[in-house]
Each structure stands twice: as structure tokens, then as C-alpha cells.
Structure 1
Amino acid sequence: MSVEPPQDLVPKAGDAPAQFGVFIEQPNGISQSGGVSPIAKLQSVLAKPFMPAVFFLCGVGYDSLTLSRIDRLVDNLVLLLYLLLLGALIVLTGRLGIESPPEREQLLSGPKFTRWVWESRPYYPMASQFLLGGLFSAYAIFYSQSATFTKTAVFFALLIVLLVTNEFLRDRLSNLRILVGLYAVVSFAFFTFFVPVITGFMNTVIFLLGALLSLGVTLYLVQQVYRNNPDQSGRQPVKVMAPAIVLIAMLVGFYFLNWIPPVPLSLKHGGIYHEIKRTGDQFELVFEKQWYQFWKRADTTFPTDEPVYCFTAVFAPVDLNTTIYHHWHYRSNDTKPFMHADRIPIKISGGREGGYRAYSLKQRLDPGDWRIDVETEDGRVIGRVEVTVATKTEAQPRLVSVTY
């Protein structure tokens, strides 16, 4: 997330001393003692062309280390605060853009807060960029935990594109239509996972409720921009709001196309096993492993005449109870498409850090490729487990076990 000062605030030779700035700088950044002032040095460093990339990587790295669980109250309150601050900035940007600036004498004699609002105006795009970067970075982390290399990756890819594009948008973040459109997207991404977290339910009605909240908040934002301003045409708010409405409608379409990851659910572990035993609070998972396969944690090939266990651990927020499905697909060889074989429902409860553990069992699978999609009730893929079933060899398998 870039933190780069506006270029028009960097003093130049011959400039008059600042009238209302936070600091008063001598020409060329030379302090009264004859040396370069600390502020001028800081501005010089921040103006380096590589600094946006540095701040971007630092911001994403910080979020990766600090954002732990999607249902963590502190994290969600921080994101909500970012949304509120961004909304306030958009209202200020819009209102100052349609109002005539006050005279200098009027500004000096007026309230200090009003003077501060006008003086800070050059920094609004920078602050908006920072808040948008923080939101997109957090969303990218949360949605990556639920996205798979299936259709659900489409919305996650959109978030990544917006996260990167935000680093180059500063000069455009005074455009009210762009700001309102981006606000609609970040609100939608927030309510998509926040409403299920606070209600404990996850279905189409809850999703549409989140979409309506996003639309309502964005409409309220535009209303505040044009409130008590008779000089503006009634068409102007509609023109500003139109891109946001189109974006929210498009994202709702993404949901029905199964292009949005099933947040707040995420697959913590999944694999195929020869046998599963429960001992106390632990599951013992038995699979075939050679001595040199130190990386292996589950079976990737399986004999035809043995029962097959598909084990999964799915994280869900506290108090969220829902049904997931182990959707078994089969193809006889890689030249044919996968076909539906079975869809087994499993009720899960949220709250466990490592995910709710469950398994499904199939007997004597046909030789070929098998794929088990872990799905929500509406068919969105949380994760995927794959195995190849082949004729049993004479060699005795070396079985080991792990606990989960």
C-alpha cells in the first residue's frame, strides 16, 4: 500500500512559505541551520519509484501475518473501521468537489475543523488508496483460503487484480464514480463473509442480504454527497451510482455462476485413506507410504478391492452450522470427462481451529480417476481430493498412520 506524498506539496526553489500547511519549509528543503531538514529527507525517500512496491509488499506481508481467522472479532472490526473511514473520505471528496472553495480570509476566520478539511484535501487520494489497499489485501487473504482452481477462483482473481491496480490509481481517486464503484466492491466482499459469521447461517438468502446491505450502504454514501445541494441536477447522483449498481448486479451473477469462493468456509485438510480410526479427540488416518516419500500425507493411488475413505477437515466460524457434501466423480481414463457418481451430505459445526472433521466411505471403486469435490449446499467447491484407482499388485503395501 503506497504512502507517497503528493508532488505538489514538495517545496520547490522560489516557493513562498506555506500558508496553512503542517510544516513551513525553507526553499529547496534547506533548514535554517543550513542542512537538509528531516521532512525533506523523508519526502525524498518516499518519492523513489520503487517505494510503492515496497509498501505494497510490506502491507500484504503484514496482513498475512496478522489476519488469522475470518471470524476473529478484532480483524472484522478493523475492516469495518476501514470501510467507515473510506466512506467518510468519499463523502468529503464528493462534497468538496461540487462546492466552491471558500475565500482565504473566510477560511482563516472560520472553524479550525473546516480549515483542516480543506487543507487536507490533497491527501484524500493517498488516504483512499491506503484504505482500499488494506481492504483488498485482507480480502485476498481471506478469499484465498476458500478459493480452489475451479470456477470459484474468478472472484478471487478479481480481488487480486484490484489489489495490484490500486497501486496505480492514485491520480484517479478523485473521480467520484470510480470511488463509489470501488466502495461497492469492497462493501460487497465484506458483507459476503461477515453476514454468515454474525448470523450463523450460510445460504442464498443470507448472501442476497449481504448484497442488499452493500447496495444500501453505497446508496446512502451517494445521498450524503449530494445532500442539501440544490445546485446539482437530480441526474448527477444517478450517474455516479450507476456503475456501482452494475458492479453489484454483476457480482450477484458471479454467485449464481458459482464464481465466488464459499467464504467463510475453507478446507483445512483433505485426503484418501485405507482406514480411519477415532481415538478420543483424534482421528488416526492410515495410508500407504514408502520410506523415501517424506512429503506424503495421504494416498494418491488405491487398489480396486478395498474400501476407500475420503477424510476432510472444513473450517467454519463459531456458531455456524451447515451441511457440506462429498461429491464423488469418476472417469475411466483421462480422455473422458468426469461424471457424477455420488453426493454424500455431511453436517458440520463451526469453531474448531483445525476444521470440522468428517469422512465418507465407498466400497470397491472401478479402476480410473476419482475426484471428490467438497461442496456447499449451493454447489460451490470448498476443496478437492483426487485419487487414481488401479488393479491391486502382489506387493504388500507399507502402511503408516498420522493423527489429525
Structure 2
Amino acid sequence: MIKISRFRAFIRKHKKSAPVVFFVLGFTWDSLTLGSIDRLYDQIIICVYLLSLSLSLYLFNLVDDDKWKNTFLERYEDYFPLAIQFFIGGLCSAYVIFFSRSVSFTKTVSFFIILVVLLFANELLKKRISNKYLQFGTYFFVNFTFFTFFIPVLVNTMNTFIFLISGGLSLSSTLILVMFIYGKSPSTRKELNKTKLINLILIIYATINIFYFFNLIPPVPLAMEEGIVAHNIEKNNGTYKVTYQKSGLFSPFNNETRYNPGDSLFIFTSIFAPADLKKRVNHHWQWKNEQSGEWETSDKIEFQITGGRDGGYRGYTYKTNILEGKWKVDVTTNDDMILGRINFTVVYDSTATNKDLKQEVF
């Protein structure tokens, strides 16, 4: 009891910084323990976090109504906002882990920015985590993201219809929780404008959908783990020996690919998908016409992936008689959602030797 009292006193003394500390703890913990959305452990943890966040919101929002006065929960009231921050941090760290598996992280930056803004908006608001609009807005965001991961894994299917179903489930479950707390808590009814809150949730819902349909969010839970421009690929006994150009010191800023006219050029990709999930994907080869400034489609080659392999489903396409200049290969689903993009510039060079190449087995 003495230890609990001391901890409570410490929390009260540092109540301005404690929520952020608990958010960071949740983020760090999941970064160390979570790995793949199709693991049962990860699924259980995420479900527990979301349920615990829902319960914490309920408990915290009834504190001002003295609902827990003279109950065993009264002594824990100071910890309710910390629990909210911890579970938000835990959920969002899991989402960042799963999104970061994609090679084309630029496609998740916009979504990640929303995540960070919503998470740290409490530092910009006077009432911080006690602000109910911030609470429920953030809750809806992490709820929506949960369903976009969980439903495709559950039904072994992912497409636009499943995304819309996920959004509908998150919207309805959030509104049910909000209305339940609203009905139970006079202080919440006094502080909240119900119409304003519903409009906020609908704006977040519409924004996420706009980002999704404009390909600013990857089609989770798929993720492109490898994207390589190769000069040769040999498949043998379930492995792929990929021969590609050695990277220089400044390779992140130089995507030139030396090419001997008449040879073949390959695109090798490894795509993560949860076990039992099947999906058709495309390599969409495009060349930039410098005269018109337009990207022209050269080929769009489709193949099927099957989830379950930890290193991702491996596949490749190739072309011969490549034109010199700028190229990009979009790795897309069959409903045109972008998993990743491989940019490279073809430079004709018939003098290139094997010394300029390296091999790697996948």
C-alpha cells in the first residue's frame, strides 16, 4: 500500500509529463516484442490493447461524475489517463512496425504523419489527454487502423470492399462507445457537443478513405519487403539467386543501372502477406518519355502471391530491349493499390563486367 501511495504521489507530481512517458513506454515495448500481424501472439496483444483502451476511456470519463467514489477503483483514478496513453502508444507502435515492413516507406509517410499528429496533439492542447475530442478522435483512428489489419487476416481476403467493411465496423463500434459513455456521464454531456464530436469522427473517417483511394496508404496487411533491379535471376530448389549491380557509397542517391543493349533486365520483389491470404499482384513497368514528360506503360505483368512465408512471397518479371532513360515499376494489387515503387535509370554500357555485379540468395 505504501508503494502504491508513493507511486501515486510521484504521478501527481509529474502529471504533465507522465502521459507522454507512458506513451513512449508502450511504443518501445511493442517495438521489442511484436513482429508479424499473422502471429497469434501479435493478434492477441493488439486485441487486448484495443479492449483495454476502450475500458480505460470508459473509466476515465466517469471520474468527474464521482462514479468510482468509495469503490476500489477510486485509488486508481490517477492512473486512468496513463493507461490511455500506454495503450494508444502500444497500438500505434504495432501499426508503425507493420507499415515499416514495406520497402516503399514513402507511401506510408502521409499516414504516419496523421498518426504522429493525433498522438502528440495532447501536447498542443491545454487540457491534454482530458480533452474528450482528442480522446475519441484518437480512439477512432487507432480503431479504424486495427480493423484494416485484423479483418483481412480473419477472412484471408483483402480488397476495397473489405476495407470499407473495416471502416464501417470501426465507425459503428466507436459511435457505440461514445454514445454509451455520453449516456452514463453527465460531465461528458456537459463538456461535449455531440454533433461536433460526430462531425470530427466523420472527418477522420473521410480523410482515411481519401488517403486510401489516392494510394497514400499501402493496402495493409500486404507489405513489399524487397525490391531489386537485377541483371539475372536463377530459381533452384525453392531459392532465387539474384544477380544485381553493386551499390556504391552514395547508392541511395544514385539509382543508375548499367545495361548492355539486348540483355534482359529483371525486377525481383518479396511481398509479405499473412498466412493463407492469396492475392494477385502486378509489376507495372513504365518508361518516362522525356519529350512529352509523360510516363508510358511498357508492360503490366500479373502473378499470384500466397502468404505465410516470413521473408515474403518471392517473384520476378523481366524485359528485354530496354530503352535508355528513367524507369519505374509500380508493384500493385489487382485493384491498383500500390504496394511499392522501384525507380531506376537505365544507362547503356556494353563494357560492364561481372566485377560490377554481386549475387544474393533469397
TM-score range, shorter chain: 0.7 to 0.9
Residue type matched to 2:112 in 1? F
Name which of 143, 146, 159 aligns with 2:102.
146
Q: Tell me what 1:319 maps to.
A: 276
Say if 2:52 is the partner of 1:85. Answer: yes
Alignment partner of 1:69: what SS? coil
Q: Which residue in 2 is equivalent to 1:15? A: none
1:28-47 pair list within 5 angstroms? 39=6, 43=10, 47=14
The alignment-based identity, stated in percent, is: 36
Q: Partner residue of 1:263?
A: 220
Alignment of 1:75-114 (within 5 A): 75-97=42-64, 99=65, 101=66, 108=70
Any idea what SS the aligned residue of 1:70 has? coil
Of stretches 73-82 and 60-69 in structure 1, the one that deviates more from structure 2 is 60-69
User: What aligned pairs does 1:199-238 form with structure 2 within 5 A after superposition?
Assistant: 199-227=155-183, 237-238=194-195
Structure with max Cα Rg: 1
> Conserved in 2, the CA contact under 8 Å of 1:316 and 1:351?
yes
Indicate whether 1:136 and 2:103 are aligned.
no
Match for residue 150 of structure 2? 194
Equivalent-residue separation in structure 1 for 2:3 and 2:239 (angstroms): 66
Q: CA deviation at 1:299?
A: 8.3
> Which residue of 1 is the match for residue 82 of structure 2?
126
- The equivalent residue for 1:403 is 361
Local SS of the residue matching 1:366:
coil
The answer as to whether partners of 2:62 and 2:185 remain within 8 angstroms in 1 is: no
Q: 1:300 aligns with which of 251, 254, 257?
A: 257
Whether 2:204 is the aligned partner of 1:247: answer yes
Write the distance in 2 (CA, Å) between the matches of 1:181 and 1:92.
17
2:287 counterpart of 1:330: yes
Report the counterpart of residue 36 of structure 2 in structure 1: 69
Residues 152 and 162, structure 2, Cα contact 8 Å, conserved in 1? yes
Structure with greater strand percent: 2
Greater mean alpha carbon deviation, residues 157-166 or residues 337-346: 157-166
Q: Figure out how many residues of one structure are paired with residues of the other and give that number.
A: 357
- Counterparts of 2:243 and 2:324 in 1: how far apart (Å)? 21
Matching of residue 162 in structure 1 with residue 129 in structure 2: no
Paired residue secondary structure (2:111): helix
The structure-2 alpha-carbon separation of the partners of 1:61 and 1:183, relative to structure 1 and needing over 3 Å to count, comes to: closer
Match of 2:233 in 1: 276
Give the Å deviation of 1:180: 1.4
2:73 aligned counterpart, secondary structure: helix
Aligned to 1:376: 333
Is 1:201–1:320's contact at 8 Å kept on the other side of the alignment? Answer: yes
Q: Deviations over 1:210-264 (max 9, x none)?
A: 001101111110222134679969x954443332222112212221121212211
Following superposition, the deviation at residue 124 of structure 1 comes to 2.1
The TM-score normalised by the length of structure 1 is: 0.76
Closer, same or farther: CA 334–74 of 1 in aligned 2, 3 Å = farther
Cα 1:333–1:151 shift into 2, 3 Å: same
Distance 1:240 1:69 in 2: 34
| Cα offsets for 1:274-325 (capped at 9, x unmatched) | 22111101111123449x88x99x9833223211111111110001100111
Whole-Å separation in 1 of the counterparts to 2:8 and 2:80: 23
CA distance in 2, matches of 1:89, 1:341: 54
1:273 and 1:287 in contact (8 A); partners too: yes
Note the C-alpha offset of 1:375. Answer: 1.3
1:60 pairs, out of 27, 32, 45, with 27
- The alpha-carbon deviation at position 355 of structure 1 amounts to 0.7
Quick check: 1:183 aligned with 2:139?
A: yes
* Paired residues of 1:184 and 1:214 also in contact (CA < 8 A): yes
Deviation of 1:160 (Å): 2.9
Q: Name the CA distance, whole Å, in 2 between partners of 1:143 and 1:166.
A: 24
Equivalent residues of 1:349, 1:356 under 8 A apart: yes
Verify: 1:346 aligned to 2:323, yes or no: no
| Counterpart Cα distance in 1 of 2:326 and 2:175 | 50
Letter in 2 for 1:145: R
Matched letter for residue 322 of structure 2: L
1:359 corresponds, among 309, 316, 322, to 316
Rounded Cα–Cα distance in structure 1 between residues aligned with 2:324 and 2:158:
36
Which consecutive unaligned segments of at least 5 residues does structure 1 have? 1-21, 26-37, 109-114
Question: C-alpha separation between the residues in 2 aligned to 1:171 and 1:122?
Answer: 15
Unaligned runs of 5+ in 2: none
The alignment's C-alpha RMSD in Å is 3.6
